[in-house]
Amino acid sequence: MAGVSLKCGDCGALLKSVEEAQEHAELTSHSNFSESTEPVLNLLCTACSKPCRSKTESDLHTKRTGHTEFVDKTSEAAKPISLEVPKVSATPEDAATATTNQDEEMVVPEVDKKILEELESMGFSTTQATRALHYSGNAGLEAAVTWIVEHENDPDIDQMPLIPANTKVEAPKPSLTPEELRAKQQELRERARKKKEEEEKRTEREREKERIRIGKELLEAKRIEEENERKRILALRKAEKEEERRAREKIKQKLEEDKAERRRRLGLPPEEPSVAKPAPVVEEKKSFLPIRPATKAEQMRECLRSLKQNHKEDDARVKRAFQTLLTYVGNVARNPDEEKFRKIRLTNQSFQERVGALKGGIKFLEICGFEKIDGGEFLFLPRNKVEMAVLNSAGSELDSAIKNPFFGVL
């Protein structure tokens, strides 16, 4: 089956075309793309006709607008994808040149020699200067320089222009004096520099806005996904409880039938309903689900999240504390037999500044297995209590807290 989309190997996003893949690569720096037979989802809102390309996007649209009805148009919109890079359209000058009669003699247009020399003295090539003077109508030095600045990225900027031999060329305008030329050169350079700086600032602002928008959408998508997962788990537990209840009722009914059958075989009268024994209280206790104790990894994550929340006004200090804790845990994991890495003096000034003075720092080490000894002067991790799985979990949680810019925000 032919590919109908491009799939990003870094984040799993599906893209409709090569252009979308290029834009995605510029925004995310991802470069691993492959052809996929999975079509890009196309959910069309029946209320406002907005297309949504994923379930998460449709959930976001529903949250913002309240629209809940969507029509799946994926199969209609899917088509084989073209892997050819779109060609750059030809410039008007090239189009005009292509339409001219090829049998007609073509010559280099005549331009103002003095302005041509002035442009060459400014660093422009003869071809660029001739092209600029011709296409600016020999309007002067400023017009020629402006044309070069606007067309410096044209693919044919270094090609000599050609015109039919019988084409009439307007008489060139008088050139500037040396003083006027220097002033005009300085003015044009300054104008081109300011224009380029403004364009770079505008582009950077747009990219930053796009990064912020993508970050917010990723956070919202993650929240919606977690909420849907919680609802699924609750529904599953409810279904399991209902199934258990029906199974108990069925067993109870079967026991009552067996009991009645035995009384009938023994010739005893049926048992009066009023004599039936009340249901034991134990059954009510069984209806409650057991509470799963938090794992050490969850305790560590909550401890780090609490540490960041308690000191959110000093982000640099919190990050330094995370890095210090990662150093302690890493030293023990790499050298479990070295006692110096398993023993920390609590009164050490450096330790206090980096970890001890922050609420939650010492608690994290205690979760990792460290214990206070000598009247609380030292934190010590006995060799027989070193658990590599716990230390690896601690390292993973600290690494996530350091690298994830949104850790502890939600």
Residue 313 is encoded by which pair of tokens? 């006004």
The one-digit pLDDT tens for each residue of the chain (410 residues) are 567 777 888 877 877 777 887 887 877 777 788 888 888 788 888 888 888 877 777 887 788 888 888 888 877 777 777 666 555 444 555 555 555 445 567 888 888 888 888 888 887 888 888 888 888 887 788 888 888 888 888 888 888 888 887 665 554 555 556 777 778 778 878 888 898 899 899 999 999 999 999 999 999 999 998 999 999 999 988 998 998 899 999 999 999 998 888 888 887 777 766 544 555 554 444 444 556 667 888 888 889 888 888 888 888 888 999 999 999 999 999 999 998 899 999 889 889 888 988 888 898 999 999 998 988 889 999 999 889 999 998 999 888 888 887 776 54
The beta strand positions in 143-207, using DSSP E, are: 163-164
DSSP assignment letter at 355: I
Element (H, E) at 15: strand 14-15
- CA-wise closest residue to 401 among 324, 342, 334: 324
Range of the domain at 357: 296-403
Q: Which of 409, 410, 404, 219 is nearest to 322 (CA)?
A: 404
Give yes or no: residues 68 and 163 share one domain.
no
Could you give the CA distance from residue 60 to residue 14 in angstroms, rounded to a whole number?
Answer: 18
Q: Domain count of the chain?
A: 3
What does each C-alpha distance from 62 to 44, 59, 79 come to in angstroms?
A: 12, 5, 27
CATH code, 363: 1.20.58.2190
Dihedrals φ, ψ of 265, to 5°?
Answer: -65, -35
Identify the CA nearest to 133 among candidates 152, 180, 142: 142
Is residue 304 domain-shared with residue 398, that is, in the same domain?
yes
Does residue 228 belong to any structural domain of this protein?
no
- The confidence score (pLDDT) of residue 205 equals 92
| Domain-ending residue, one of 49, 77, 105 | 77
In a shared domain, residues 102 and 73: no
CA dist 276 and 253 (Å) reads 13
Tell which phi-psi region holds residue 161, choosing left (phi > 0), alpha (psi between -120 and 50) or beta: beta
Answer yes or no: is 123 within a domain: yes
83 to 23, 25, 152, 408: CA distances (angstroms): 15, 15, 29, 42
